[in-house]
Structure 1
Amino acid sequence: MKSYKLLMAFMLSAAMFVAAGCSEPTQEDPGNAGGDGDDTTTETPGDVGEAEITLEFWNGFTGPDGEDIAKIIADFNEKYEGEIVIRSQTMPWANFYDQYRTVVTAGEAPDIAIMHLDQIAGYARYDLLTPLDELSADIGLVAKDFIPEVWNAGVYEGQRFGIPLDVHPLTLFYNVDLLEAAGYSEPPTTYDELLEMSLAIQEATDAWGIAMPVFWPSNMIFYTSLMSHGGESVSEDGLTPLYNSPEGHEALQKMVDLVYKHEVSPSDVQADGEVTLFRQGNSAFHLNGIWMIAGFEQQDGLNFATAPVPAFGDQEAVWAGSHNFVLPKQQDEDPDRLEAAMKFIQFVSENSLQWAKAGQVPATYTVLESEEFKALEHQYNASQQNFVFPPSTPFYGDAWGPTGPAVDEAMLGQLTPEEALERAAREGEANAREAAE
Structure 2
Amino acid sequence: MFFLSLFAILTTVFMTACGGNENEGNNTGESEQEIPGDVDVEAAEIVLDFWNGFTGPDGQEIAKIIADFNELNEGEIAIRTQTMPWDNFYDQYRTVVVNGEAPDVAIMALDRIAGFAQHDLLTPLDDLAKDIGLVEEDFIPEVWKAGEFEGSRYGIPLDIHPLTLFYNVDLLEEAGYTEPPKDYDELLEMSLAVQENTDAWGIAMPVFWPSNMIFHTSLYSHGGTSVSEEDGITPLFNSPEGVEALQKMVDLVYTHEVSPSDVQADGEVTLFRQGNSAFHLNGIWMIAGFEEQEGLNFATAPVPAFGDEQVVWAGSHNFVIPTQQDEDPERLEASMKFIQYVTENSIQWVSAGQVPATYSVLESDEFKELEHQYNASQQTFAFPPTSPFFGDAWGPTGPAVDEAMLGQLTPEEALERAEKEGEANAREASGQ
TM-score interval (norm. to shorter): over 0.9
Q: Is the 8 A contact 1:173 1:304 kept in 2?
A: yes
1:235 partner SS: coil
Deviation per residue, 1:1-48 (Å, 9 max, x gap)? xxxxxxxxxxxxxxx931132538433243xxx553212100000011
Of 66, 74, 77, the match for 1:81: 74
2:35 aligned to 24, 44, 52, which one?
Answer: 44
Q: How far off is 1:391 after superposition?
A: 1.2
Q: Could you tell me which residue of structure 2 aligns to residue 103 of structure 1? A: 96
Partner of 1:412: 406
- Matched with 2:396 is 402
Cross-structure match for 1:138: 131
CA distance in 1, matches of 2:45, 2:82: 19
Segments of 5+ residues of structure 1 without an aligned counterpart are 1-15
- 1:170–1:287 Cα contact (<8 Å) kept: yes
Q: 1:93 to 1:22 in 2, by over 3 A?
A: closer
Superposed, 1:385-396 pairs within 5 Å as 385-396=379-390
Provide the rounded CA distance (Å) in 2 between the counterparts of 1:390 and 1:246. Answer: 22
Rate the CA distance shift 1:99–1:85 in 2: closer, same or farther, 3 A: same
Counterpart AA for 1:275: V
Q: Are 2:152 and 1:159 aligned?
A: yes
* Cα deviation, residue 285, structure 1: 0.1
Determine helix, strand or coil for the equivalent of 1:346.
Answer: helix
Does residue 380 (structure 1) correspond to residue 374 (structure 2)? The answer is yes
Q: Is the 8 A contact 1:277 1:283 kept in 2?
A: yes
Query: Does structure 1 conserve the Cα–Cα contact (< 8 Å) formed by 2:191 and 2:258?
Result: yes
Contact 1:232 1:243 in 2 (8 A): yes
Are 1:120 and 2:116 an aligned pair? no
Superposed displacement of residue 392, structure 1: 1.2
Q: Using the alignment, how far apart are the partners of 1:52 and 1:371 within structure 2?
A: 37
Report the residue type matching 1:147 in the other structure.
I
Partner of 1:246: 240
Query: CA–CA distance in 2 between the matches of 1:321 and 1:397?
Result: 13
SS of aligned partner of 1:189: coil
Aligned positions of 1:343-362 closer than 5 A: 343-362=337-356
Partner of 1:12: none
Q: 2:212 corresponds to which letter in structure 1?
A: N
Is the contact between residue 170 and residue 289 of structure 1 (CA under 8 Å) also seen in structure 2?
A: yes
Q: Which AA in structure 1 matches 2:33?
A: T
Runs (5+) with no aligned partner, structure 2: 1-8
What is the alpha-carbon distance in structure 2 between the residues aligned to residue 36 and residue 217 of structure 1?
Answer: 18
Match of 1:434 in 2: 428
Aligned mates of 2:429, 2:118 — CA distance in 1: 12
Structure 1 stretches of 4+ with a deviation exceeding 4 A read none
Matched, 1:337 2:331: yes
Q: CA deviation at 1:235?
A: 1.3
Q: Structure 2 residue aligned with 1:58, among 21, 34, 51?
A: 51
Q: Does 1:262 align with 2:256?
A: yes
Alignment-derived partner of residue 10 in structure 2: 17
- The amino acid across from 1:356 in the alignment is V
Q: 1:270: how far off? A: 0.2
Deviation at 1:145?
Answer: 0.3
Q: Is the 8 A contact 1:22 1:401 kept in 2?
A: no
Separation of aligned partners in 2, 1:173 and 1:386: 17
Instruction: Please say if residues 157 and 357 of structure 2, whose CA atoms lie closer than 8 Å, have aligned partners that are also in contact.
Output: yes
Provide the C-alpha distance between the structure 1 equivalents of 2:142 and 2:380, rounded to a whole number of angstroms.
9
Structure 2 letter corresponding to 1:149 = E
Q: Is the 2:10–2:398 Cα contact (8 Å) retained in structure 1?
A: no
For 1:171, the equivalent position in structure 2 comes to: 164
* Contact 1:26–1:272 under 8 Å retained in 2: no
User: What's 1:317 paired with?
Assistant: 311
The SS at the match of 1:385 is: coil
* Cα separation, 2, equivalents of 1:418 and 1:126: 36
- Residue 230, structure 1, aligned to residue 230, structure 2: no
- Please give the alpha-carbon distance, in whole angstroms, between the structure 1 residues aligned to 2:249 and 2:34: 44
C-alpha RMSD of matched pairs (Å)? 1.0
Q: State the alpha-carbon separation in 1 of the partners of residues 336 and 385 from structure 2.
A: 26
Alignment of 1:178-197 (within 5 A): 178-197=171-190
SS in 1 for 2:12: helix
* 3-state SS in 2 of match to 1:392: coil
Cα separation, 1, equivalents of 2:428 and 2:12: 17
Shift of 1:127: 0.4
- For 1:29 and 1:234, the matched residues in 2 are separated by 31
Task: Provide, for residues 252-299 of structure 1, a one-character-per-residue CA deviation record: whole Å limited to 9, x for no partner.
Answer: 000000000000000021000000000000000000000000000000
Residues 392 and 422 of structure 2 are in contact (CA less than 8 Å); yes or no, is this contact kept in structure 1? yes
Q: Distance in 2 between matches of 1:22 and 1:227?
A: 21
Secondary structure in 2 aligned to 1:107?
coil
Give the corresponding residue for 2:6: none
- Whether the aligned pair in 2 keeps the contact of 1:17 and 1:23 (CA below 8 Å) is no
CA contact (8 A) 2:169 2:297 kept: yes
CA distance in structure 2 between the aligned counterparts of 1:245 and 1:261, rounded to whole angstroms: 22
* Shift of residue 148, structure 1, vs aligned partner: 1.1
State the SS of the aligned residue for 1:18.
coil
Q: Secondary structure at the match of 1:223?
A: helix
One-letter code of the match for 1:38? G
Match of 2:5 in 1: none
Contact 1:21 1:401 in 2 (8 A): no
How many residues are aligned here?
A: 419
CA shift in 2, pair 1:423/1:35, >3 Å: farther
